[in-house]
Amino acid sequence: MKGEQGMQRVLSKVAIVVVAVFAVTSGCALLEDERTAKGRKLYNHYCMHCHGESGQQQEGFNWGRMPDPRPRDLSESEAMSTFSDKEIFDTISRDMRDTTLQEVLDDENYFAVSTMPTFKYTLSEEELWAVVGYVRTLHGGSLTFDVEGRKAELESQFKAVEAAHDQAKQAMDDALAKQEAEEAARAEAEEEAEEDDEDMDMEDDEDDLEDYDEDEEEIVLPEEEAYEKVAEQFEAAKSALENFTKRPKMTQIARPDLTVTEPERVALEEKGKSLYYDKYGCNGCHSIGDVGGLVGPALDRAGFRLNDTWVYRWVRYPQGMKKHTRMPNLGLDDQDARAVTAYLETLRAPKPDKPIPPPE
Ligand code: HEC
Ligand code: HEC
């Protein structure tokens, strides 16, 4: 009797464990499927034109139009499995760098192909991991990076910094209140002293005031400095956590004043041309004449067709003007956007001849 009960107990424990393990693994599998499906959707929208539907070369309509090095075969397991999840993540989420600089090309830790665009400024971190997971399936693999763990890490980092931030703020407020009270007491004491001092003449009075002002400016409490530092960390942790689930958002780009002197303009155009090809790889997606990609419109006549203020705002923040455009935000700063805009203004190819209408 005793033995049988013990056995039953063991069996029911086993059953609980089996059910629990099943629930956990199928829960994960569900999450993973959802993530892969999301990754496929994003890949088809942002990557397929260059990399092909199944990741093979020559498959995407833009593949043959790109300059060397053309996209490698993402379905090729032997080479692709040598990259870690994090390495693939870094390739699609980085800052574009000027490939005319030798130190950029020499940096083995950095992926420097200008025509592979960055998605750092376009997608959320969660979406980027979903894309990496989908890329893995193209060569028969799966994502091993712990995405949920990464989110938990960002959350706990944020909570820790938030606590430190609140503490530092309290300390600063206390210190400021104390300082204020001390100053009030000192002012009161000085007033009393002045009233007592019958002989004081105007000049002395002015000197005193000057000294007092100088002293005032210099006082920065250590608590204020400490708070400023923590506040910076707080903002960084907050935006890291926000960027995990939300796409990066910029404030609307203000209309720039693009007037420059003639020599400045010539230098800008030259710099812009170099940035167009060697840093941002715009030619991977846009054509000028017979060369360049077909993902975006041809830019031969951009100088005639497009207003420079509009171009500046577009290249800095395409998503601000058209939410789901296939053109990623490549992270151009003000200076680079001015230069690229100046270059596009020089593109003034003649109108193509009207095609001869077919005979009736
Ligand atoms: C404008 C065309 C273009 C688009 C769009 C594009 N890529 Fe690429 N990609 C390239 C080029 C060019 C390379 C460099 C050659 C190479 O190594 O494959 C590259 C390389 C890669 C690599 C290989 C990295 C390595 O270390 O060699 C991966 C992975 C990749 N891209 C993923 C993506 C993903 C994911 C997307 C969409 C979110 C995407 N690419 C969008 C052109 C593109
Ligand atoms: C991954 C491909 C891709 C890259 C890289 C890219 N673009 Fe685009 N671009 C597009 C697409 C697609 C459009 C069409 C926008 C739309 O309607 O969604 C576009 C539109 C434009 C337009 C408006 C053209 C018109 O006639 O309306 C300009 C200007 C432009 N891009 C400039 C640039 C510049 C400059 C760069 C480099 C800094 C660049 N693009 C990089 C894909 C790309």
Task: Determine if ligand 1 sits within 6 Å of the CB of residue 312.
Answer: no
Domain boundaries, given as residue ranges, for the chain = 26-145, 148-242, 262-345
Q: Please give the residue that has the higher pLDDT: either 320 or 217.
A: 320
Using pLDDT thresholds of 50, 70 and 90, give the confidence band for residue 234: very high
pLDDT higher than threshold 60 for residue 107: yes
Token representation of residue 141: 């693999």
The Cα–Cα gap between 140 and 117 comes to: 24
The CATH class given to the 26-145 domain equals mainly alpha
262-345: CATH number: 1.10.760.10
CB 89 within 8 A of CB 136: no
The Cα–Cα gap between 197 and 41 comes to: 82
Of all ligands present, the nearest one to the C-alpha of 277 is 2
The answer to whether domain 26-145 and domain 262-345 are alike in fold is: yes
Q: How high does pLDDT run on average in the chain? A: 90
Residue 199 is predicted with a pLDDT of 54
Nearest Cα to 342, choosing from 305, 308, 319? 308
Task: Determine if ligand 2 sits within 6 Å of the CB of residue 50.
Answer: no
Residue 353 is predicted with a pLDDT of 79
Atom of ligand 1 nearest to the CA of 115: 12
The Cα–Cα gap between 128 and 150 comes to: 13
The Cα–Cα gap between 274 and 265 comes to: 14
Atom of ligand 2 nearest to the CA of 117: 5
H or E element, residue 155: helix 147-196
Residue 82 Cα distances to 40, 77, 112, 145, angstroms: 22, 9, 18, 15
